[in-house]
Structure 1
Amino acid sequence: MKIRIKGNSLRYRLTQSDVTRLNQEGFLQEQTEFAGKTLTYGIEVTINDSLAADYTGDRILLSMPRTMIEDLATTSRVGFDDSIGPVSLLVEKDFTCLDNVEEDQSDNFPNPLLTQ
């Protein structure tokens, strides 16, 4: 799982195993050690019908409806977006890059542009 933050935009990108695990367990979490502190970010299943996010202490937690998680896991749907006040939220499948990059992409979703 990766997060990207730009201005008031929060974007989660999920690999194939992330989507599978989130669908099965209802929770994902990662941690990044930074300047003597730990930033924790995660996604949890919620009974609500829209995306929501909370930032408390050193933790960013995105809440995602079960139906959205199931759609990511079982359909070709790429992602979901929503907003909370000024914050834009996006959860999407992480596709392999079209150009050569050094990071491991073996668990990424196949890029649909490669099949055209």
Structure 2
Amino acid sequence: MKIRIKDNSVRFRLTRSEVAELGTSGILTQVTEFASNIFKYSVMVKDVEELLADFVENNIILYMPKSMVDALVNTGKVGFSGQAGAVKLLIEKDFVCIDNTDEDQSDQYPNPKMTC
């Protein structure tokens, strides 16, 4: 799972296996270990009607309705957007990059803009 934060927007990008895990377990959490603290970012299924987010104990938590998770898992839906207070939220499937990269992209979704 990747996150991109800029000003009042947070974007989560999930690989194929992460989308499947979210559908099965209802939660994903990643950890970045700094020298003096740990930063977490999570996506969690919750009984809500729209995307919501919070920042609790060094953890950005994106809450998703089960219906949205089901759509990510079972359909071609690419992602969802929402807003929590001033923060714009986006969660989407992570596609293979079109440009050259050294990053392992074997678990990413095929990019619809690539021609074979």
Q: Which residue of 2 aligns with 1:5?
A: 5
SS in 2 for 1:113: coil
Question: How many pairs does the alignment contain?
Answer: 116
Q: What corresponds to 1:77 in structure 2? A: 77
Q: Give the equivalent residue in structure 2 for 1:101.
A: 101
Give the corresponding residue for 2:43: 43
Rounded to whole Å, the distance in 2 between the matches of 1:27 and 1:115 is 34
> For residues 51-108 of structure 1, what are the alpha-carbon distances to aligned partners after superposition, in whole Å with 9 as ceiling and x for unaligned?
0011012111110010000101111111000011210000000000001101110000
- What is the aligned partner in structure 1 of residue 28 from structure 2? 28
Q: What TM-score do the two structures reach when normalised by structure 2?
A: 0.96
Unaligned runs of 5+ in 2: none
- Runs of 4+ with deviation above 6 angstroms: none
- Quick one: which amino acid aligns to residue 57 of structure 2? G
- The structural deviation recorded for 1:35 is 3.5
Q: CA deviation at 1:115?
A: 4.0
Supply the RMSD in Å over aligned alpha carbons: 1.1
1: CA distance between counterparts of 2:115 and 2:78? 16
Separation in structure 1 between the aligned mates of residue 23 and residue 40 of structure 2, nearest angstrom: 20
Percent sequence identity is 48
Q: Distance in 2 between matches of 1:115 and 1:103?
A: 20
Paired residue secondary structure (1:100): coil
- Read off the aligned partner of 2:91 and give its amino acid letter: V
TM (norm. structure 1) is 0.96
Segments of 5+ residues of structure 1 without an aligned counterpart are none
Name the counterpart of 1:19.
19
